[in-house]
Amino acid sequence: MPADACLGVGPGVDAMVGTLTGVCRLSKRTTAEMLGDAFGVPLSVGGVIGCQKRVGDALAAPAEEARTFAKRQRRKHSDETSWRQGDLKGDLWTLVTPLVVVFTIAARRSSEVAKSVLGPVLGILHTDRYAGYAWWATSARQLCWAHLVRDLRAIAERGAESAQVGNALLAEAERMFGWWKRVKAGELSRASFQVSMRGLRGRVEDLLEEGTRCAHKKTARTCKKLVAVRGALWTFVTHEGVEPTNHAAEQALRFAVLWRRMSYGTQSMHGSRFVERLLTTYMTLRRQRRSVIGFLREACCAHRAGRSPPSLLPS
């Protein structure tokens, strides 16, 4: 432990608090106890909050630079989950690119927030079926087939003609995923996959059209919505490097969801900014295989000295 950490106010302690509360997801009280027991650093819960604020301030510029960079990338995944700040209900959004991941806590869930998070339409965007992404060009969007399969199961479970349509669509989805796994394993060429997908696409779209005429209102409504954006179902077939699922964004959010379950959200704007910036830093550095606590300490030292902070951008 650096000598300045023993003072209880240095960048070493700030970095350690950021790591324990943000990466290890320890409570503020547990963090204070651990610092005292393991390192002999006397720190109160209020002191932990002060450290978090300093870490959040130190990460402001690197996180903003990462946000600008991520919006310019041509492969994007986005997803959102609920987040509370005190008594206010909001949402935590993520924008995932190959080497940089950005998080944003917003007061509401809307297309305007999505536009702020994602920036201008550029490249291919992976999402679920949330209508807030509808402004993104359908031809440059890939809907998540994992989410779609859940919708198809719901259709199949309604019985009668819904079951016929739903089960037929599930069979086509299972066939598609089987072929996709073979493509990923190098057992099926992309050209052969694209040829096979022509017939599958036709069958799926015919079934969706059939579903729009279903007597069950929920089934008809879901199928109509899917027909309206059917082009976004097949982007992964024509664009190499595009996946048929949104797993990248879901995996990034999973860490944040576990944090939310343990902390019940944040209590202040400072707390929300700390969460945004710490998650952005941690998930980005993990993708780049860089040290988190080393980056935090360097950022805290630079902030205190008035120097330029380290960058989260890939070298």
pLDDT tens track for 11-57: 999 999 999 998 998 989 999 999 888 888 888 999 999 999 999 99
Full domain range(s) for residue 29:
3-65+267-305
Sign of CA dihedral 62, 63, 68, 71: positive
> Do 149 and 198 fall into the same domain?
yes
Instruction: Tell me if 23 is assigned to some domain.
Output: yes
Q: What does each C-alpha distance from 84 to 210, 241, 272, 281 come to in angstroms?
A: 41, 35, 9, 21
Q: What is the pLDDT of residue 1?
A: 38
> Do 154 and 222 fall into the same domain?
yes
Among 193, 210, 245, the domain-final residue is 245
Q: What is the pLDDT of residue 278?
A: 96
Instruction: Tell me if 291 is assigned to some domain.
Output: yes
> Do 165 and 237 fall into the same domain?
yes
> Do 216 and 271 fall into the same domain?
no
Domain count, the chain: 2
Instruction: Tell me if 97 is assigned to some domain.
Output: no
Closest to 9 (Cα-Cα) out of 266, 307, 300, 308: 300
Q: Is 162 left (phi over 0), alpha (psi -120 to 50) or beta?
A: alpha
How far, in Å, CA of 239 to CA of 251, rounded?
Answer: 22
How far, in Å, CA of 7 to CA of 15, rounded?
Answer: 14
The percent of residues above 70 in pLDDT, for the chain, comes to 97
Instruction: Tell me if 310 is assigned to some domain.
Output: no
Q: Is 101 left (phi over 0), alpha (psi -120 to 50) or beta?
A: beta
Q: What is the pLDDT of residue 7?
A: 44
Stretch among 172-181, 222-231, 239-248, 265-274 having the lowest mean pLDDT: 265-274
How far, in Å, CA of 227 to CA of 207, rounded?
Answer: 10
> Do 167 and 241 fall into the same domain?
yes
Tell me the mean pLDDT in the region 168-178.
97
Q: What is the pLDDT of residue 195?
A: 96
How far, in Å, CA of 252 to CA of 177, rounded?
Answer: 22
> Do 287 and 196 fall into the same domain?
no
> Do 232 and 296 fall into the same domain?
no
Place of tokens 């779609």: 148
Q: What is the pLDDT of residue 6?
A: 38
How far, in Å, CA of 126 to CA of 136, rounded?
Answer: 10
> Do 176 and 234 fall into the same domain?
yes
How far, in Å, CA of 191 to CA of 183, rounded?
Answer: 10
> Do 149 and 239 fall into the same domain?
yes
> Do 26 and 61 fall into the same domain?
yes
Average confidence score pLDDT of the chain? 93
pTM of the full structure: 0.90
**Cα 244 from chain centre:** 16
> Do 185 and 277 fall into the same domain?
no
Instruction: Tell me if 271 is assigned to some domain.
Output: yes
